[in-house]
Amino acid sequence: MSKSRRELVSTMRARREEAEAEDADLEAAERQRRGPRTVEEALARLPRREAASLRKELAFWCVPITNPARSAALLLTSSPRFENVILVLIVLSSVVLAVDSPLLDPASGLAVALGILDLALTVVFGLEMLSKQLARGLLLHRGAYLRSPWNVLDGTLVVISVLAAASTGVQSLQGLRSLRALRALRPLRVIARNEGMRVVVNALFSALPSIANVFVVFVLFILIFAIVGVGFLKGGLGACAGPLFDALPPERASLVMDPVPFEQLSAEQRGWGAVNGSAFAGTTSKAVCEWMGAEWTQRVAVGFDNVLVGSVALFGLSTTEGWVTMMQAGVESRGIDMQPARGAAPAMALLFILFILIGSFFFLNAFVGVTIDNFSRSKEGAVLATTDQREWIRLTDVVLNARPIRMARAPRAPWRRRAFVLVHSGWFEPFIMGCILLNAVVMAASFFGMPAGWAAILDATNTVFTLIFTAEAAFKLAALGWGYWHSAWNIFDFLVVTFSVAGILVDLVGGVSIGPVASVVRTVRVGRVIRLVKQARSLRLLFRALLVTLPGLANIASLLGLFIVIYGILGQQLFAHVRFGSALNEDANFRGFGQSLMTLVRVATGEDWNTLQADLAVGSDCSPNPQWDDPVPRGCGDVATSLTFFTTFTLTVSFVLLNLVVGLLLEAFSNEGVGSKLSAEQIEQFSEAWAELDPDATGFVPASRLGDLLQRLPVPMGFGRHNEVSDAAVRRRTLQLRITTWKAAAGAGSSGASAKQGGQVQFADVMLGLGRWLVEHGGKAAPGAADTDTEKSEAKRRASVSLPEGHPAVKRLRELRRQAAQSTGSRRLEWDVRHAMAAGTISDAYRTFRLRWRLSTAMDTVQRAWEARQRAIAAGQLLSQEALARAVAERIDEEDEDEDWDEHESSVDSGPVEEDEADDEVDASDAGNSKGSFVDWRGSATEF
């Protein structure tokens, strides 16, 4: 078998296997939806090694897989309905935890009901854990329950819930009541059951080694500055303050500023003490301040009394929260327990400025940058990917969000056709955009206290603009019909127009009496300015880049919301009774779930979080055993609990999750940048060129028109409309794309004739083929340039962007093709566009050969007829021209009925041959077939 024939058969076999894999995916998705019905079907869903291990190993060292109880547990825990029920119960338990506040009356009906419901949920979760352990085994074999980190998390949370429930009402287990607060971690179980959250968390765990390296360096840097800070500022950040100190006369205040030993005080000065005859020990401002009855307080929430406290203070400064206040306290410090003075130690400012420059601007941003970079690569499985592979992964993200553009067609009705011409005229859209800009200026011209005349002018102008936009919507509806609703921009326009008209009607019926409703209706008109994005290409591309990030943003936002809910429940359980301080007050506290969420959102932005943390660590002037019905919170906080709570929250939410949003946006914008092989602008150009060949946006065009598409696309995707290239160059580029061909169903795509011309190609397949070609060739190609690369270099380029079968990008591509097949009824063919073009070339050559043969035969017939005519003339029997023509026609008809030609036509029109048939044809040609010359020619064409 020839090399080209082997390649053809191999490619067809690969296409067949890929199609079978997609069919298997469809069947697997259906089975996943309905759940397993037998034990073997449940095991078939697991990885092969896990399934083999479960068949062989015993659960709890004594229960085989054939045991009815274990089989039932496996079927139950493998059912999607079971997981959905557990997910609903997890959400319900989270609601119970949010409502179950420490400030709730323990004897109330609500508290009793919540306790019973929590106990019931704990029992259900315990049974779920036991069922999974029975189905999979506990630990020792592959696929066992504790071999999965997510099951370890689930099991730990269930055990905590069981211990917390057991401690209720049992005096000997009262020490376990502190575990009740850890029930707040129960919503973490949602992560294991949500694919999007799980992808984000797994990516973060994959990025942990790189993140840990930077974090360790950051911690060492903080320790160095903490040691320096303790050396200079320990005990030196306090001050004498309070109402009594503020009321002291200057001579007494000066004694606090410059204290002297008690023995050196005059009799009058000794009488300044709060208690007559008392004395103070030491010569410090703090001793004199307290001797006079004033209060010695710390100027900052967290100081530098030891290395640990100093490290906490510097960690807070790294977020730039309160660093100016801390620097001012350091600059005014005069030593241990001494009253501060302005400009006492100006050199201390250098310490804080240097820390902000290095610790905050450099290390903290390096930590954030490493987190974002490793996360963006880990979530796509690209940690070990090459540069070309990462570029290919980015291309799939952008391409899979592109869609064909539907071209509007002029209607048949004369009045609608006139509306169509109007809305598609060159001046219509610029006029509407100008009206939008002017309307925005008019809406911005209103102000509080404006004269009644000016308000009337603005209202009249807004009414005129509303009428213009209403007329625009009416013209477009008349011109486009149902096609008007195919555009999201048109739907947005219609909603804005509807609200604008409603605003006018509200004003007519008395908008003042309606109140806030009228204001909301009028405010919606401002959204009309967003339409400017549609016309500005750069803004449109930016807007599209934002839309591309929405799925990823949804995953991160859901995980962010989950952590805020968990910390909100945890904060409510831990800090509901803590007395108020400077930052902990009526507006920011943890006395209710809603208030806890608002406080945590504020903390996530970094607003005064370190002061709030210090207030929740208070241990003086408080009650160690507060009651649930205290009208004013008076409980004590805890330093370790407060520090752990806020440090972990800041690291997890502020440093990691919020910055992942930034990283996702940066990744989306980088995909649109100059360095990307296929930018959003190029994708838009591709969609516009595709619409010329597929005006109905079916997503399919004939494979024979790929050359026309390449000629319409600009460089480097195509050749450009104004660049003249040879047919050979177009054909060569098309052959390099390796695009899958489809057989379209009736009504899906083009007519059936296209199938005879090599099938059809799909929108995303062509775009991905172009993107892959750009990645392989570096995005550079001169129009009409010849491909001089060797077969070895071509194979090397292909391998540079190859991804594993289980890679997320590969899965997304297969899912896209599966959806295309389902939505259009089309099916993928076993050959790609290269083989379709080769077959088309063979067919064209055959038709040319046949035409030449027929012309040659006809010429022979004419020659023989002419010779017969000459002989007839010589014999005196002149033939008429009509008779000659009939003879030629009859001869041609006879040749068309020749059996040889019937055999040739059947061999060509029969379509692709199987491997065995191809071998038979080659063997027949080698054996000296009577049509050997034609078969040899056909084989050489296949080589092409």
DSSP assignment, residue 927? T
Q: What is the DSSP string of 424-479?
A: TSTTHHHHHHHHHHHHHHHHHT--TT--HHHHHHHHHHHHHHHHHHHHHHHHHHHH
How confident is the model at residue 177, as a pLDDT? 58
Residue 240 pairs with which residues in a beta bridge? 296
CA dist., res. 468 & res. 470, Å (int): 5
Residue 573 near residue 184 (C-beta atoms within 8 A): yes
Q: What is the DSSP string of 90-120?
A: HHHHHHHHHH--TTS-TTSHHHHHHHHHHHH
Residue 497 near residue 473 (C-beta atoms within 8 A): yes
Residues 430-489: tens digit of each pLDDT: 898 899 889 889 888 988 888 989 989 988 998 899 899 999 999 999 988 888 887 878
**Closest C-alpha among 168, 655, 707, 721 to residue 366:** 655
Give the CA distances from residue 625 to residues 622, 628, 635, in Å, rounded to whole numbers and listed in that order.
Answer: 9, 10, 7
Dihedral (CA of 496, 499, 500, 501) sign: positive
How confident is the model at residue 671, as a pLDDT? 58
R_g of the chain computed on alpha carbons: 40
Predicted TM-score of the model (pTM):
0.71
Other Cβ atoms closer than 10 A to 418: 14
Residue 700 pairs with which residues in a beta bridge? 762
How confident is the model at residue 376, as a pLDDT? 67
DSSP assignment, residue 138? S
Residue 238 pairs with which residues in a beta bridge? 298
**Closest C-alpha among 553, 591, 600, 556 to residue 572:** 591
Residue 97 near residue 183 (C-beta atoms within 8 A): yes
How confident is the model at residue 885, as a pLDDT? 58
| DSSP H or E run through 701 | strand 700-702
Q: In what order do the strands lie in the sheet with 740-743?
A: 700-702, 760-762, 740-743, 827-832
pLDDT < 70 regions, the chain: 1-35, 168-178, 275-277, 376-401, 510-522, 535, 537, 541, 548, 668, 670-680, 743-758, 775-840, 872-944
Average pLDDT, the chain: 76
How confident is the model at residue 599, as a pLDDT? 93
Provide the 3-class DSSP secondary structure of residue 52.
helix
CA dist., res. 397 & res. 30, Å (int): 26
**Closest C-alpha among 788, 45, 812 to residue 381:** 812
The 8 Å CB, 24+ separation contacts for 912-916 are: 912/12, 912/830, 912/831, 912/835, 912/839, 915/9, 915/13
How confident is the model at residue 367, as a pLDDT? 77
Using alpha carbons only, what angle is made at residue 80 by residues 74 and 83, rounded to the nearest 5 degrees? 85
| DSSP H or E run through 27 | helix 3-34
Provide the 3-class DSSP secondary structure of residue 426.
coil
How confident is the model at residue 908, as a pLDDT? 39
Domains of the chain plus CATH, in order, are 35-193 (1.20.120.350), 210-351 (no CATH), 414-535 (1.20.120.350), 561-660 (1.10.287), 694-825 (no CATH), 845-943 (no CATH)
How confident is the model at residue 176, as a pLDDT? 56
